[in-house]
Amino acid sequence: MPKLTICGGGNAAHVLMALAANAGWQVDVFTPVPGEAERLQAGLSGRNGLMAAVTRNGTITGQPRRISANPAAVIPGSAWVLLALPAFAHGPILQAIAGMLEPGCNVGALPARGGFDYQALSILEAAGKSATVFGLQTLPWACRIVTYGQSVEILGTKAVVDLAAFPPDQAPLLAEELAPLLGVELNPVSSFLTLTLANTGQLIHPGIMYGLCRGKEEATFTAENIPLFYQGVNGFTADVLQAMSNEVQTLAKTVGRSLPHFNVSEVRPLYRWLLESYPNDIVNPTSLHTAFVSNKAYRGLRIPARPAGPDTFTVDYSARYLAEDVPYGLVVLRGIAGLVGAATPAIDEVILWAQERLNRQYLVGAGLSGPDVSGTRAPQAYGIDTPAKLLALYRQQTAS
């Protein structure tokens, strides 16, 4: 069976360890976060080396082979490398492993978030390496670690997840090989542009944060009263999400007019994506609002919070719902929209609110010209700063 190295030690990495090893793959894990490899190893040792993924239909266990903080110990020989990490960790991980990748290996991120292709291909090129780069549109599971290094709960599994690749004609083959391991249907799409535009996390996470926290940014809660995240979506928040999704649809159509092989219909509206991703979990599919609050896979998940006093909590704006989904999501969208001249007033409103919480400057007035754009995956941060450059890139990256 192929050798796979999982990069990361969080929720998604825990699920992959159990599933991939259970499916018979040789599984190694690379995590450079100080102390994490040791914690993982200690947890696994307490369970005879087995990681358990607890699902509604039973528990899947698998035994990873090696856990290391040293990429040289696990990356060489890997046919597959999976980045199961928040997008802000993609860059440091790719920098650490690029020089050790086997020629022709498959390197992918789940999920890719926005602009993964710009970043991964530029790091590989600088290291003089060629690999097949791929990404998933979202993480196949809603999952949370139960006991570190030992067990993780899979709260829900999406019915189908899009996969894009570069070279683009590799997507069908990768989808076929990876689907049995992940236990979801993988749908090959024409281009990484699909993933960047159809990354629904970039709408859902900052959109709900904005809807729930705007005007009460400093509110405090007791542990029991920390607001529910998805079940807390109200009419206003659903309207914000709908407006953001509408803008993405317009953006996709605008770019699509200049890219004959780009399949605009792959960029699904948020409501349709939600219904198609969770066909068995959404109890009331009547509207975008009811689809969020009645989704069993989202049940009980709360807004990210940090201690504010002995018995109180406040919203944690440094959590990945903004720290990942704004610079590696909305700002990428906004960069593309700016290049092709598509208006994004609802997205701009959310970025302006979020950048204040993150203490960053991306949007200044009507332009994406803030000093922190260089730390994002907006195309402009990779020198793709004219419509001609953007379209030339995606003509090359889109399957014909």
Write down the least CB distance from residue 326 to ligand NAI, Å: 12
User: What is the C-alpha to C-alpha distance for residues 108 and 82, in angstroms, rounded to an integer?
Assistant: 5
Residue 8 binds ligand NAI (CB under 6 A): yes
Pick 112 or 346: Cβ nearer ligand NAI: 112
Residue 33 binds ligand NAI (CB under 6 A): yes
Write down the least CB distance from residue 19 to ligand NAI, Å: 13
| 227 HSE (CA, 13 A, CB side) | 20
Write down the least CB distance from residue 48 to ligand NAI, Å: 23
Pick 11 or 344: Cβ nearer ligand NAI: 11
Pick 81 or 264: Cβ nearer ligand NAI: 81
Closest residue to ligand NAI, based on beta-carbon distance: 10
Residue 71 binds ligand NAI (CB under 6 A): no
60 and 18 Cβ atoms separated by less than 8 Å:
yes
Among the listed residues 142, 161, 171, 198, the single contact to ligand NAI using CB under 6 A? 142
- Of 58, 72, 61, nearest to 28 by C-alpha is 72
Which residues are bridge partners to 364 per DSSP? 367
- Of 331, 84, 322, nearest to 207 by C-alpha is 322
Alpha-carbon dihedral 259, 264, 267, 271, rounded to 10 degrees = 150
289 catalytically annotated? no
Alpha-carbon dihedral 352, 358, 361, 367, rounded to 10 degrees = -30
Applying the rule CB under 6 A, the residues between 309 and 348 that interact with ligand NAI are 320, 324
Query: Phi and psi at residue 364, in whole multiples of 5°?
Result: -125, 115
Among the listed residues 27, 93, 100, 368, the single contact to ligand NAI using CB under 6 A? 93
46-54, 81-89, 332-340, 361-369 -> range binding ligand NAI (CB under 6 A):
81-89
68 and 37 Cβ atoms separated by less than 8 Å:
yes
Residue 207 binds ligand NAI (CB under 6 A): no
18-26, 27-35, 172-180, 224-232 -> range binding ligand NAI (CB under 6 A):
27-35
18 and 51 Cβ atoms separated by less than 8 Å:
yes
Residue 20 binds ligand NAI (CB under 6 A): no
- Spell out the residues 6+ positions from residue 333 whose beta carbon is closer than 8 angstroms to its own: 114, 196, 197, 202, 248, 251, 344, 347
29-37, 209-217, 221-229, 336-344 -> range binding ligand NAI (CB under 6 A):
29-37
Among the listed residues 143, 152, 163, 351, the single contact to ligand NAI using CB under 6 A? 143
Helix segments in 98-229, DSSP class H: 116-126, 171-182, 192-197, 201-213
For the chain, the distance separating the N- and C-terminal CA atoms, rounded to the nearest angstrom, is 32
Applying the rule CB under 6 A, the residues between 235 and 274 that interact with ligand NAI are none
Residue 92 binds ligand NAI (CB under 6 A): yes
Pick 87 or 133: Cβ nearer ligand NAI: 87
Element (H, E) at 10: none
Binding site for ligand NAI (CB under 6 A): 8-12, 31-33, 36, 84-87, 89, 92-93, 111, 138-139, 142-143, 201, 320, 324
Residues identified as active-site: 205
